[in-house]
């Protein structure tokens, strides 16, 4: 689907032969700094709001927290130079025939993935909070849930968690909650070390403790005899047991024994699976483990959708049972689910269900802080599974097994290299032991164009001098790559003298294998492209006009970003490849670290967190580690303003601030800012116990917290630390120096300010910047530049651990870096300036028609967003028409859909508020048209309030009955056909072309008929 735009302010480019599209066809793409408003628009808007200079927009912000000059980052690059630079960096990656797989398998990407990735209303829309305008996203997630249910047998599949490690942690906390036995967790030592590290990092400062289940050096499996040594006391506290189906040595664990052991000791079993290996001809599904099946499944599904992308975006699998016999867990699980629903006219449709458990509703009582998740990966994985179907997956598995067997046949003829665990069943991976120094072997292979595998010598205890290497096989290995590997092995190891050419059996014990077919249909490429194209038409995209969802910063997402992220040097790079071969991705990460230090004014940066909420958790855990290292053990309280986003509370609770008094709410004053007296009283009371404060700035009312700096210095004086929720950086980036403001940690949501597409709910991404005090504690790895100019990585000296199995959502770092290159030192502050100007202009246009909230702050200048409400008269009109006050705002939100727009954020943070954020991406004409639509909505409320009740009118479906969908949960169905769709009654692209008054007439006509 092309992008329809009518933006006037674009610069004609010579087209680059490297690009698969002509940017000149997309005016927003070629506008300077991706700002569509031209100089005249800007001057006119400024005049309208009565200001003379753009700097006046920020005059209420104390000058001592502002940057004196633009941040010290490079000048902007023009479009074609950006293309060239990114291409050259990507070329620094040395892609080789790879058998690495391991923590992040690499399977063939189906062509449907590229097709769906380009459907902008699917890739750029937000979380489907308005189901009537988001059926495209919802159906695509439904398909993912159903396909995964077919493969795994699990009835409730979450859509979706960040990655496998996060899913393991969420399953653990869920098991502890539902089991009510205690907080001890048994962890298999044969899980991936990177997953264990993340889980332990997340559990720090909580009540969870771990018992490690050791492995057996002879078999390479868990040491099953060890279970006999667990006494009754040990067993009575264990709530959950996490184990893999295929362990980190590629060996098949005895999942029956492990599941039965769990069930007989009232321990919830959490099985880590690989979904692709559960296809026909593959492994036994987790519902058939032991006599009753596993309780939870976790795993990674990134490889169902995309290539390694240097580690991410990933896609965490999380599933639980939901049938007559087992249904207690679902309401205690994290994240998002899509359920079947009906609209008010009985049409079948889909809606997000169970969202009352989520952080925005339950705040500190939420079961997890996950907000933006990996949604778009779920869309892609679902499409990919339907395109492959059960036969396609069977073929992929057959190819992988064939490749493995072919290499094993060669190995068996060679001296000096052999299977390390010949008596243990494996599937598509092998571990070899060699007399050769593994490092030398890997280097030698690399010079021959091969990444032959991973050194796994340290994954099993005992026989310390054992040298082990693991090779993973998949359907990317064709005859050519197999021959390459064979040749290398034959050149490196001598042939056995007395080659008995005995025929080896590669049989895998049937107890590990699937017995019945999956029942997953396949659809042709053409059928699927037509279907997903239709799905895209059911959504709207910020490409097509103002997407006013406040606090979500729905700005234009450049095509250039996606092109850069798709360059093979970035998308195919494996995070475990040798450092010399992954210089391209390391350079992007290094540059991103450096740029964000300058943009924020803070000296330390981690690029690891994968969403804003995870950034918050990183920040709070840094605070805890800092206090711990100062032997300051009594800081058990965190201050959060009551108006904060739900993730702030959920994050604090997740970090261990979950006792009844550990979160202290800060009150807002009449102007919507932190109440100074209340803050001082609470500080005085809790100063010796204060760990830190979390403040959103600009806050969720769109106001700059003018006392921020003073609050920060008082918190510091009390020994606490200051977290700034930077979700609203689009208002202040390049203008406010967070170092001067007194910030110790801040997250930047890349999917907001830094133009990463929202993907229908994710992947999000976050970069956390920190003050000097916290640098040594940063998580994951820091990328450093060596004297010779090359890049390497190092772990900070007191690191708090890791939040991701690899480098976070690397693909998104490429996108953000690509955007930054186009912005440069002038573009960053200009972006925020025009975002604020657009919001002030719109607010000024609408303020004669709608009151603004908070009601006492009419004269306080807004930043990038503002909150409208209805007048008492309007509420009364609606009430007379049968819409009670508490339902009025969400219902008015539905009228926006009739005008071809998405709705503003409804009823958050003010229950009676409509939060509007226009961003800097639109021309004055586009903003004017949006304003006319909002004014027309006012007219409709006054003249025809009954119309509001039946809104929306032109979406494919009427208002969805969410209550019923939640009461009668249907989370999967056998997919024997593509879900049937209702089409738009009037397409948003047509609505976009119509006069607002014409739309009003059509609404009224549609109600009459
Ligand atoms: C103010 C604020 N803080 C935190 C978050 C959480 O960020 P994420 O969705 O990336 O986890 C959001 C997301 O909507 C937000 O608006």
- pLDDT digit string, tens, across residues 652-672: 999 999 888 999 999 999 889
The residue to mutate among 313, 552, 612, having the most atoms of ligand 1 within 8 angstroms of its beta carbon, is 612
Q: Is 617 in the pocket of ligand 1 (CB under 6 A)?
A: no
8 Å CB contact between 618 and 815: no
Sequence length of the chain is 1009
DSSP one-letter string for 827-887 = HHHHHHHHHHHHHHHHHHHHTTTS-EESGGGTTSPP-S-EEE---HHHHHHHHHTT--HHH
Helix then strand then coil, in percent of the chain rounded to 5, is 45, 15, 40
pLDDT score of 386 more than 60: yes
Strands 690-696, 156-157: pairing is unpaired
Q: What is the residue with the minimal CA distance to atom 12 of ligand 1?
A: 727
945-979 in b/e form (b: 16+ CB < 10 A) is bebbebbbbbbbbbbbbeeebbeebebbeebeebb
Instruction: Ligand 1, residue 752: give the atom nearest the CA.
Output: 10
* pTM for the predicted model, two decimal places: 0.97
Whether 314 has a pLDDT exceeding 50, the answer reads: yes
Does residue 372 have its Cβ closer than 6 Å to ligand 1? yes
Please tell me if the CB atom of residue 764 comes closer than 6 angstroms to any atom of ligand 1: yes
Does the pLDDT value for residue 1 go beyond 50? no
Give 715's pLDDT tier (boundaries 50, 70, 90): very high
Task: Describe the crossing of helices 438-447 and 479-492 by its angle, rounded to 10 degrees.
Answer: 130
Half-sphere exposure (CA, 13 Å, Cβ side) for 72? Answer: 7
In this prediction, residue 7 carries a pLDDT of: 61
Residue 257 has a CB neighbour count (10 Å cut-off) of 15
Cα(51) to centroid(ligand 1), Å: 31
If you average pLDDT over residues 245-274, what whole number do you get?
A: 98
Confidence of residue 14 (pLDDT cuts 50, 70, 90): low
Per residue in 883-898, pLDDT (tens digit) is 999 999 999 999 999 9
- In this prediction, residue 364 has a pLDDT band, given cuts at 50, 70 and 90, of confident
How does pLDDT run across 271-307, given as a tens digit for each residue? 999 999 999 999 999 999 999 999 999 999 999 999 9
Average pLDDT of the chain, as a whole number: 95
The answer, yes or no, to whether any atom of ligand 1 lies below 6 A from the CB of 82, is no
Angle between helix 646-654 and 612-629 (nearest 10): 40
Ligand 1 pocket: which of 613, 754, 758, 809 to mutate (most atoms within 8 A of CB)? 613
User: Would you say the CB of residue 771 lies under 6 angstroms from ligand 1?
Assistant: no
Mean of the pLDDT values across residues 562-588? 98
Q: Which atom of ligand 1 is nearest to the CA of 616?
A: 4
Segment 844-849 shows an average pLDDT of: 96
Could you report the per-residue pLDDT of 535-557, keeping only the tens digit for each? 999 999 999 999 999 999 999 99
- pLDDT tens digits for 516-532? 999 899 899 999 999 99
Rounded mean pLDDT, 727-738: 98
β-bridge mates for residue 692, sequence order: 638, 721
| Residue the block writes with tokens 């709207």 | 540
Residue, of 11 and 187, whose pLDDT is higher: 187
Residue nearest to atom 10 of ligand 1 (CA): 612
User: How far away, in angstroms, is 866 Cα from ligand 1 center?
Assistant: 17
Q: Is 725 in the pocket of ligand 1 (CB under 6 A)?
A: yes
Decide: 647 in ligand 1 pocket, CB within 6 A.
Answer: yes
Is ligand 1 within 6 A of the CB of residue 756? no
Q: Is the CB of 864 under 6 A from ligand 1?
A: no
**371 CB under 6 A from ligand 1?**
yes
Q: Is the CB of 749 under 6 A from ligand 1?
A: yes
235, burial (CB in 10 Å: exposed 0-12, middle 13-18, buried 19+): middle
Residue of minimum CA distance from atom 16 in ligand 1? 551
Euclidean distance between CA atoms 579 and 341, whole angstroms: 50
Residue percentage of the chain with pLDDT more than 90: 91
């Amino acid at each position: 689907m092309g992008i329809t735009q009518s933006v006037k302010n674009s610069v004609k480019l010579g087209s680059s032969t490297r690009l698969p599209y002509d940017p000149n066809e997309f005016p927003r793409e070629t506008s300077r700094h991706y700002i569509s408003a031209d100089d005249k628009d800007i001057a006119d808007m400024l005049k309208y709001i009565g200001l003379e200079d753009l700097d006046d927009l920020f005059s209420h912000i104390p000058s001592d927290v502002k940057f004196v000059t633009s941040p010290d980052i490079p000048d902007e690059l023009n479009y074609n130079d950006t293309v060239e630079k990114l291409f050259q960096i990507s070329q620094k990656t040395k892609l080789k025939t790879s058998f690495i797989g391991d923590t992040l398998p690499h399977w063939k990407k189906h062509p449907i993935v590229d097709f769906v990735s380009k459907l902008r209303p699917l890739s750029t829309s937000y979380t489907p909070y308005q189901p009537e305008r988001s059926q495209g996203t919802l159906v695509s997630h439904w398909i993912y849930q159903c396909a995964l249910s077919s493969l795994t047998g699990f009835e409730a599949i979450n859509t979706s968690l960040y990655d496998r490690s996060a899913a393991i942690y969420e399953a653990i906390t869920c098991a502890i909650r539902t089991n009510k036995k205690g907080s001890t967790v048994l962890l298999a030592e044969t899980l991936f070390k990177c997953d264990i590290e993340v889980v332990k990092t997340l559990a720090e400062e909580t009540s969870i403790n771990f018992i490690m289940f050791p492995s057996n050096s002879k078999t390479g499996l868990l040491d099953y005899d060890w279970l006999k040594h667990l006494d009754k006391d040990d067993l009575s506290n264990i709530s959950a047991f996490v184990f893999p189906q295929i362990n980190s040595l590629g060996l098949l664990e005895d999942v029956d024994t492990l599941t039965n052991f769990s069930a007989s000791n009232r321990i919830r079993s959490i099985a880590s699976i690989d979904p692709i290996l559960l296809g026909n001809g593959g492994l036994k599904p987790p519902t058939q483990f032991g006599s009753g099946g596993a309780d939870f499944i976790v795993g990674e599904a990134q490889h169902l959708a995309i290539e390694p992308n240097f580690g991410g975006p990933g896609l965490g699998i999380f599933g639980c049972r939901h049938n007559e016999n087992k249904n207690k867990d679902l309401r205690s699980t994290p994240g998002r689910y899509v359920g079947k629903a009906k609209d008010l006219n009985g049409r079948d449709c889909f809606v997000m269900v169970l969202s009352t458990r989520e952080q925005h509703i339950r705040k500190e009582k939420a079961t997890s802080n996950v907000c933006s998740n990996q949604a778009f990966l779920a869309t892609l994985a679902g499409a990919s599974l339907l395109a492959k179907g059960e036969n396609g997956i069977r073929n992929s598995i057959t190819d992988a097994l064939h490749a493995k067997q072919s290499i094993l046949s060669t190995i068996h003829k060679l001296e000096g290299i052999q299977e390390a665990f010949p008596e243990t069943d494996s599937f598509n991976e092998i571990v070899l032991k060699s007399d050769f120094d593994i490092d030398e072997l890997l280097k030698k292979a690399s010079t021959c164009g091969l990444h032959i595998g991973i050194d796994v010598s340290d994954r099993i205890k005992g026989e310390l001098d054992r040298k082990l290497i693991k090779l993973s096989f998949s359907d990317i290995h064709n005859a050519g790559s197999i021959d390459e590997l064979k040749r290398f092995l034959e050149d490196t190891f001598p042939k056995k003298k007395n080659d008995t050419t005995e025929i080896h059996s590669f049989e895998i014990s049937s107890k590990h294998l699937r017995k019945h077919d999956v029942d997953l249909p396949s659809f042709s490429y053409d059928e699927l492209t037509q279907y997903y194209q239709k799905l895209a038409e059911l959504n709207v995209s910020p490409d097509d006009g103002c997407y006013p969802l406040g606090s979500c910063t729905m700005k234009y997402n450049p095509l250039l970003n996606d092109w850069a992220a798709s360059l093979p040097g970035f998308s195919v790079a494996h995070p475990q490849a040798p450092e010399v071969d992954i210089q391209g991705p390391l350079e992007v990460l290094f540059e991103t670290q450096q740029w964000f230090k300058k943009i924020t004014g803070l000296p330390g940066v981690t690029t690891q967190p994968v969403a804003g909420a995870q950034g918050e958790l990183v920040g709070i855990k840094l605070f805890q580690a800092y206090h711990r290292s100062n032997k300051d053990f009594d800081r058990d309280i965190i201050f959060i303003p009551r108006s904060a986003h739900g993730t702030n509370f959920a994050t604090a609770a997740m970090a261990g601030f979950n006792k009844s008094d550990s979160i202290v709410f800060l009150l807002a004053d009449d102007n919507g800012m932190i109440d100074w007296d209340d803050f001082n009283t609470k500080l005085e009371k809790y100063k010796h116990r204060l760990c830190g404060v979390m403040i959103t700035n600009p806050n969720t009312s769109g106001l700059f917290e003018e006392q921020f700096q003073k609050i920060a210095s008082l918190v510091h004086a009390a020994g606490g630390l200051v977290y700034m929720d930077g979700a609203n950086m689009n208002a202040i980036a390049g203008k406010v120096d967070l170092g001067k403001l007194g910030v110790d940690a801040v997250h930047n949501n890349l999917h907001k300010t830094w133009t990463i597409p929202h993907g229908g709910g994710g992947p999000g991404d976050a970069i956390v910047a920190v003050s000097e005090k916290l640098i040594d504690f940063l998580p994951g790895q820091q990328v450093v530049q060596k004297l010779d100019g090359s890049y390497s990585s190092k772990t900070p000296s007191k690191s708090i651990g890791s939040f991701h199995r690899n480098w976070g959502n690397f693909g998104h770092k490429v996108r953000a870096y690509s955007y930054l290159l186009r912005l440069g030192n002038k573009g960053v502050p200009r972006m925020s300036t025009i975002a604020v100007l657009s919001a002030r202009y719109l607010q000024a246009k609408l303020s004669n028609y709608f009151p603004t909230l908070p009601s006492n702050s009419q004269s306080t200048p807004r930043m990038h967003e503002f909150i409208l409400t209805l007048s008492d008269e309007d509420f009364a009109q609606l009430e007379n028409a049968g819409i009670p006050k508490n339902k009025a705002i969400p219902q008015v939100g539905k009228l926006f859909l009739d005008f071809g727009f998405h709705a503003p954020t409804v009823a958050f943070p003010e229950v009676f508020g409509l939060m509007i954020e226009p961003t800097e991406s639109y021309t004055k004409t586009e903003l004017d048209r949006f304003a006319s639509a909002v004014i027309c909505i006012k007219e409709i409320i006054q003249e025809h309030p009954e119309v509001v009740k039946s809104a929306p009118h032109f979406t494919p479906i009427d208002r969805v009955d969410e209550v019923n969908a939640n009461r009668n949960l249907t989370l999967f169905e056998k997919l024997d056909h593509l879900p049937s769709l209702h089409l738009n009654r009037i397409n948003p692209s047509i609505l976009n072309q119509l006069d607002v008054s014409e739309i009003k007439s059509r609404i009224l006509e549609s109600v009459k008929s």
